[in-house]
């Protein structure tokens, strides 16, 4: 059998990374928000499976944008 397909290496899947506690707090501080005001990502999302995310973790996504070359985006991990 062929080796398992790794979707995170696919060109259309942007780079996901988990923020440390410190980074997370600085993001929340920068935007002056609470965790529940962030966009969400499911814990079971295949793109972050390899990061072993916990509920409440913040995931940083760096993706291509038609108006800005690279755009940072943050999502909080939720149940599901």
> Which residues of the chain form contacts with another protein (CB under 8 A)?
31-33, 35-39, 65-68, 71-74, 78-79
For the bound state, the minimum distance from the C-beta of residue 75 to another protein, rounded and expressed in Å, comes to: 10
**For another protein, which is the closer residue by CB, 7 or 33?**
33
Nearest distance from C-beta of residue 20 to another protein, angstroms: 19
Neighbouring residues of 72: CB distance < 8 A, sequence distance ≥ 6:
60, 61, 62
- Residues whose CB is less than 8 angstroms from the CB of residue 68 and which lie 6 or more positions away in sequence, other chains included: none
Nearest to another protein of 50, 71 (CB atom): 71
* Pairwise CA distance, residues 3 & 62, whole Å: 27
On whether the CB atoms of residues 71 and 63 are closer than 8 A, the answer is yes
Nearer to another protein, 7 or 62 (CB): 62
């Amino acid at each position: 059998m062929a080796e398992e397909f790794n979707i995170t290496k696919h060109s259309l899947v942007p780079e996901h990374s988990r923020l440390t506690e410190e980074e997370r707090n600085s993001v929340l501080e920068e935007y002056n928000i609470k965790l529940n005001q962030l966009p969400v990502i499911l814990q079971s999302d295949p793109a972050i499976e390899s990061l072993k995310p916990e509920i409440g973790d913040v995931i940083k996504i760096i993706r291509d944008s038609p108006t800005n070359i690279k755009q940072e985006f943050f999502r909080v991990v939720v149940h599901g």
